[in-house]
Amino acid sequence: MHDGVDDKVCILLSHPRACPHGNPIPKGECCKKDDKEVSNIVRPLSALKLNQKGKIAYFVIQDNGKLQKLMSMGILPGMPVTQLQSYPSYVFDLDQTRYAVDKEMEDYVFVRVDNN
């Protein structure tokens, strides 16, 4: 890997402490910096604040059935999303459609957050 690429990937993924398989990821140079210096660019949809906007970046899911369900709903990378509610169910707008799902489904969807 080219010098610095690993830090950029780590920043993009919000400094994960474990891989998708549950194995620990050691801290790199970027993780050792003050957390205030690094903003979370991509985070799970469930972590968005109310009325926060972003675009679907990718999915972290190993269940093909659930992945197909998300995709059949039109939840695809690049689509604009706005978090509207987080209790009692998670509600979000995707393009011009409103969805209500449980936290587990939102945790599979990662969003590139708009900082505007």
Q: Transcribe 49-104 into DSSP letters.
A: PTT-EEEEEEE----HHHHHHHHHTT--TT-EEEEEE-SSSEEEEETTEEEEE-HH
> At CA 59, angle to CA 72 and CA 9, rounded to 5?
155
- List the pLDDT tens digit at each of the 116 positions of the chain: 677 777 777 777 767 777 777 788 887 777 766 444 444 678 899 999 999 999 999 999 889 999 999 999 999 999 999 999 998 899 999 988 999 999 999 999 999 998 76
Which pTM was predicted? 0.67
Considering the domain architecture, whether residues 32 and 9 belong to the same structural domain is answered as yes
Q: Are residues 51 and 28 in the same domain?
A: no
8 A C-beta contact, residue 91 and residue 99: yes
- Asked if residue 63 lies in contact with residue 48, where contact means CB atoms within 8 angstroms, the answer is no
Query: Does residue 21 sit in the same domain as residue 61?
Result: no
Q: What's the number of domains the chain is made of?
A: 2
Q: Note whether 69 and 22 are same-domain residues.
A: no
Enclosing domain of residue 87:
42-113
